[in-house]
Amino acid sequence: MKKLLLLFMVVFCSCQSDKKENSSPKLQSNPEENIPLQPYFTDIKINDVKLGEPTFGEWLDTHKEKGQSFKQFLRTPHIVPSKEENVIYLKPIGKFDSLQVRQIELVRQYLQVFFQLETKVLENVSNDIIPNKARRIGDVGQEQFLAGYILTDVLKEEKTHKGIALMAITEKDLYPKPEWNYVFGLASYRDKIAVSSIYRMQQEADFNLCLDRLLKICSHEIGHMFGLHHCINANCVMNGTNSMPETDRHSIRLCSLCQRKLNSGFKYDNKKRLVELEKYFQENNLTEGIGLMKKDLKSVQ
């Protein structure tokens, strides 16, 4: 009698949304489509690093994504800053030590530069707001919170002044649904809310590596809120990821295409943003970011 051995692999995902990644409703032509490409984006394109063939278990090995062109981005409904909505908010949930509090403040500073929008940290709230029905014990004994509950029952109730995006940051691990082991973050792009966890960012990491991971995950999730889909154009902070090692391999930089998408609605000074990002990376000894910004700045001189 033959014995069949079945091997099951659980694939972990870094972020989930409440809509399909490649949905592209048919809309009227956007005037932005006919605006000539700015020299800035042509100049920095030389610094884009093409993605290689995905290896077993990586995001693009398990998710056959088609990417998002500039025209597709413009034709997909997404939020842009206005006089009424132009502030990003972070909401800490849980009991954070002094280093984690410092990291959250550094995330705030980074997002303010990255998106060129004022970013504020709301008052910290206790883990007690998460009921037992939205908690469980994970595979290594860690407590986990149901990410969807935080979105629908905590963040949707939060009223913010001029808020354009609201992200919770928790020190507990997250899971998106019972059959999944964990998730780095979860977002509802329609409701402009998201949650990310520090828990896995700090594993086998010093302060700077944990911070680097947080910057990537938070800018990635909020980038989704502003209409950026997963990037397959180049090594980019908007790449999808299945694991922490894959996240570590991804760039903290937006590729030239994703920068063009973001700038189309935000209208910030691209060179000023690069200068401020380089300064941030230097002040916080984040060597990868320093090198990337220096390359882009050299290309636009």
- CA end-to-end span of the chain: 72
Instruction: Measure the CA–CA gap between 219 and 226, rounded to whole angstroms.
Output: 10
Instruction: Measure the CA–CA gap between 230 and 220, rounded to whole angstroms.
Output: 9
Catalytic residue among 58, 171, 221, 276: 221
Question: What is the DSSP code string of 84-104?
Answer: SS-EEEEEEES---HHHHHHH
Instruction: Determine whether 160 is exposed, middle or buried from the number of CB atoms within 10 Å of its CB (0-12, 13-18, 19+).
Output: middle
Alpha-carbon 114 to chain mean position: 11
Instruction: Measure the CA–CA gap between 132 and 175, rounded to whole angstroms.
Output: 14
- CA angle, 229 then 249 then 38, to 5°: 45
Instruction: Measure the CA–CA gap between 115 and 100, rounded to whole angstroms.
Output: 22
Strand ranges of the sheet holding 118-121, from the earlier edge strand across to the other edge: 13-16, 183-188, 193-197, 163-170, 87-93, 118-121
70 and 256 in contact (C-beta within 8 Å)? no
Question: Would you call 118 a catalytic residue per the annotation?
Answer: no
User: Strand, coil or helix: what is 227?
Assistant: coil
| Residues known to be catalytic | 221
